Amino acid sequence: MAFLDRFRNPNLTFLAHPHPHSPDKPILKVEGLTVEYDSGAALENLTFELQRGERLAVVGPNGAGKSTLFKVIAGVLRPSRGLVEVAGHEPGGHICIAYVPQRTQVDWSFPATVADVVMMGRTGKLGLLRWPTHHDWQLVQQALDTVRLLDLADRQIQQLSGGQQQRMFIARALAQEAELILMDEPLTGLDSRAQEELFSVLELLHSQGVTVMVALHDLKIAGERFDRVMLLNRRLVGIGLAETVLNPVQLVDAYGSHLRLLPVVDGTLALGDSCCDEGEHDHA
Amino acid sequence: MLEVLLQPLQYPFMLRGMAAAVLVGIVCAVLGAYVVLRGMAFFGDALAHAILPGLAVGYLVGGGAREPLFWWAMGTAVVSSLGIGAVSRTARIKEDTAIGIIFAGMFALGIALISSVRSYTVDLAHFLFGDVLGVGTQDLLLTAVFGGLVLVVVFLFYKEFMILAFDPVLAATLRLPARLMDNILIVLIAVAIVVSLQTVGVALMVAMLVTPAATAYLLTRRLWKMMALAAAIAAVSAVIGLYLSYYFNVASGAAIVLTCTAVFTIVWVATSLNRRIRAVAR
């Protein structure tokens, strides 16, 4: 079966073309990125870099292009112009990027257990025509243990709570051996306890040197829980420490009419419309 | 009782028909899991109808011989499946509209071709509703070979097809060749339809793809179990359907499909009741 073995080697199949990493390069480098849909520009001329192990919060109003940005970085969507490099190479060849979808975009009635979904993350490493081995199931168990879902491994995915569903996708990213995890509004619809559990898992990822990029609506959480904040509204309004980025001028710039600034005794009070915290929004 | 079960089996045509129906039922049910999960029922139905002109040409060319029919149907099925796939991806109109236009046009072409022959009604009925009792040894062989091929491919690409059905974005981030895999799935559906033509015919084909898989979907929570259960339901329905057809003198394809539908209805009512009782108990 030498023929089959050659076919099975993931490095040689048409399935995966893993690029070598250049460890001296930033994990993510974006330059002049522009994405245009028929309806107009979704992202305009974005330039930024992300270092290994960093935690970046991406905030901005609905339709700011957060999901679009994530999909381009994941290599799902082709940019109209500009450059995206993951560890020094084009994202097209990487399977080290994991995308955690918004909960509303997942078919939760799909006939799969939690372990099945996490095992999907192994597919890239397995290659074509190869079935999961004992080693793969062990990695799945480890990943589930890391996100504290091991006792729910055999549940159908619909039976999980919102926070557990998010952690399941993080486990899938771990099984994928992802180095850059993109999470699209993972906090939407979670109560504060579930959010806390999610952050303790993110803390663990941070300690393991995994880079995370998280789209959020909550500016307070963005400032408190992340190393840097990106303020996005089709173009890059600002990126850096929360104190500098989330200033009134830039917030009005990003949120525009959705935000009212009121001068109060000890500074400025920003009132945002709360539409964005309810969830169930579809983002372009 | 035993007599009732054994009596039809003394006829070789009954045995061949039963073997073909069970085989086809299993193949369609396993593949049907993906049809159900990806919402491709309309595509399957359209593709079955779009084969009619191929059957008609095969019929006119081969003078009613079985084998040219099979190959013409196979060729038409593969070409139309890829064609429908391509049009629905690129056209500016919505996918189901594009499918509707192509399928109705092809079906009309098929009817036009067949109506140009004299014994029009009889032959058209065979194509539309199948003729499982007319299955010959050669037909059975072709069914087994191509049906087996479909099952092997489904088995080989199990994990890839599962990801494409559940999470296309993951498929993209894992760099799976999504377009190629989608086309493979489409061609598999086309082949399954062709091998099923003699059993249930063009018009009822979609039931074999959808009904047993949907029944299993209500009862299981893992994909491979859904496939296994769907195959079992389809095989049992095929056998029961043929017995009903024999004793009540009903068209065999219709009897098989009606049995599948009855099983689905029973399971659907039972699972709905069960859920309601649990909700009340809570």
Mean pLDDT of B108-112: 90
Could you give the CA distance from residue B73 to residue B191 in angstroms, rounded to a whole number? 9
Least confident span in A20-29, A42-51, B266-275: A20-29
Does residue A128 carry a pLDDT above 80?
no
- In which band, very low, low, confident or very high, does the pLDDT at A261 lie, cut at 50, 70 and 90? low
Q: How far is B161 from chain A (nearest CA, A)?
A: 11
Mean pLDDT of B3-11: 86
Angle formed at CA A279 by CA A275 and CA A282, multiple of 5 degrees: 95
Which of A72, A100, A107, A174 has the most B C-beta neighbours within 10 Å, making it the best mutation to test the interface with B? Answer: A107
Q: How far is B2 from chain A (nearest CA, A)?
A: 39
Q: Is A213 or B198 the better-scoring residue by pLDDT? A: A213
Residue A259 C-beta-side C-alpha neighbours within 13 Å? 19
Does residue A234 carry a pLDDT above 80?
yes
Could you give the CA distance from residue B16 to residue B137 in angstroms, rounded to a whole number? 7
User: For position B130, what pLDDT does the model report?
Assistant: 83
* Residues B186-220 pLDDT 10s: 999 999 999 988 888 888 889 999 999 999 999 99
- In which band, very low, low, confident or very high, does the pLDDT at A240 lie, cut at 50, 70 and 90? confident
Does residue B151 carry a pLDDT above 90?
yes
Contact A111 B173 (CB under 8 A): no
Which of A104, A108, A123 has the most B C-beta neighbours within 10 Å, making it the best mutation to test the interface with B? Answer: A123
For chain A, what is the mean pLDDT? 81
Helix ranges (DSSP H) in chain B: 2-6, 12-37, 41-50, 52-62, 66-90, 95-115, 120-129, 137-156, 158-166, 168-173, 178-219, 223-248, 252-281
Q: Report the chain A residue with the minimal C-alpha distance to residue B155.
A: A129
User: For position A21, what pLDDT does the model report?
Assistant: 67
* Residues A28-63 pLDDT 10s: 888 889 998 877 788 888 999 998 889 999 988 888
Q: Is B85 or A196 the better-scoring residue by pLDDT? A: A196
Domains: count for chain B: 1
What backbone torsions phi and psi does residue A45 show, to the nearest 5 degrees? 50, 55
Nearest to A76 among B160, B166, B173 (CB): B173
Q: Is B220 on the interface with A (CB under 8 A)?
A: yes
Q: Which of A69-83, A199-213, B228-242 has the highest mean pLDDT?
A: B228-242
Does residue A84 carry a pLDDT above 80?
yes
Q: Tell me if B132 sits within 8 A of B20, measured CB to CB.
A: yes
For chain B, what is the mean pLDDT? 89
> Which residues, at least 6 apart from B40, have a Cβ–Cβ distance to it below 8 Å?
B34, B189
Least confident span in B11-25, B43-57, B91-105, B240-254: B91-105
Could you give the CA distance from residue A128 to residue B264 in angstroms, rounded to a whole number? 35
Does residue B115 carry a pLDDT above 80?
yes
Mean pLDDT of A238-260: 76
Which domain range does residue B224 map to? 2-281
Does residue B232 carry a pLDDT above 90?
yes
Q: Is A108 on the interface with B (CB under 8 A)?
A: no
**CATH number where B81 lies:** 1.10.3470.10
Among residues 61-100 of chain A, which lie with CB inside 8 Å of chain B?
A: 71, 74-76, 92-95, 97-99
Q: Is A176 on the interface with B (CB under 8 A)?
A: yes
Q: Which residues pair with A89 in a beta bridge?
A: A86
Residue A2 C-beta-side C-alpha neighbours within 13 Å? 0
What percent of chain A lies above the pLDDT cut of 70? 80
List CB contacts (< 8 A) between A117 and chain B.
166
Q: Tell me if A149 sits within 8 A of A168, measured CB to CB.
A: yes
Does residue B148 carry a pLDDT above 90?
yes
Q: How far is B204 from chain A (nearest CA, A)?
A: 26
Least confident span in B29-33, B57-61, B118-122, B170-174: B118-122
* Residues A148-173 pLDDT 10s: 999 999 999 999 999 999 999 999 99
Tokens of A28: 């993510």
Least confident span in A12-16, B74-78, B80-84, B248-252: A12-16
Q: Where do the domains of chain A lie?
A: 2-278
Q: How far is B203 from chain A (nearest CA, A)?
A: 29
Contact B173 A117 (CB under 8 A): no
Q: Report the chain B residue with the minimal C-alpha distance to residue A78.
A: B172
> Which residues, at least 6 apart from A118, have a Cβ–Cβ distance to it below 8 Å?
A140, A143, A144, A168, A171, A172, A175
Does residue B231 carry a pLDDT above 70?
yes
User: For position A17, what pLDDT does the model report?
Assistant: 46
Could you give the CA distance from residue B142 to residue B137 in angstroms, rounded to a whole number? 9
Could you give the CA distance from residue B132 to residue B195 in angstroms, rounded to a whole number? 11
Does residue A245 carry a pLDDT above 90?
no
Q: Tell me if B50 sits within 8 A of B202, measured CB to CB.
A: no
Respond yes or no on whether ipTM tops 0.90: no
Q: Report the chain A residue with the minimal C-alpha distance to residue B214.
A: A111
Q: How far is A15 from chain B (nearest CA, A)?
A: 5
Q: Which of A39-53, A82-96, A149-163, B64-78 has the highest mean pLDDT?
A: A149-163
Place of tokens 């020094």: A88
- Candidates 3.40.800.10, 3.40.50.300, 3.90.1150.10, 2.40.110.10; correct CATH number of A2-278? 3.40.50.300
Does residue A199 carry a pLDDT above 70?
yes
Q: Is B173 or A172 the better-scoring residue by pLDDT? A: A172
- In which band, very low, low, confident or very high, does the pLDDT at A108 lie, cut at 50, 70 and 90? very high
Place of tokens 């309601």: B276
Among residues 229-268 of chain A, which lie with CB inside 8 Å of chain B?
A: none
Q: Report the chain B residue with the minimal C-alpha distance to residue A130.
A: B156
Q: How far is A106 from chain B (nearest CA, A)?
A: 7
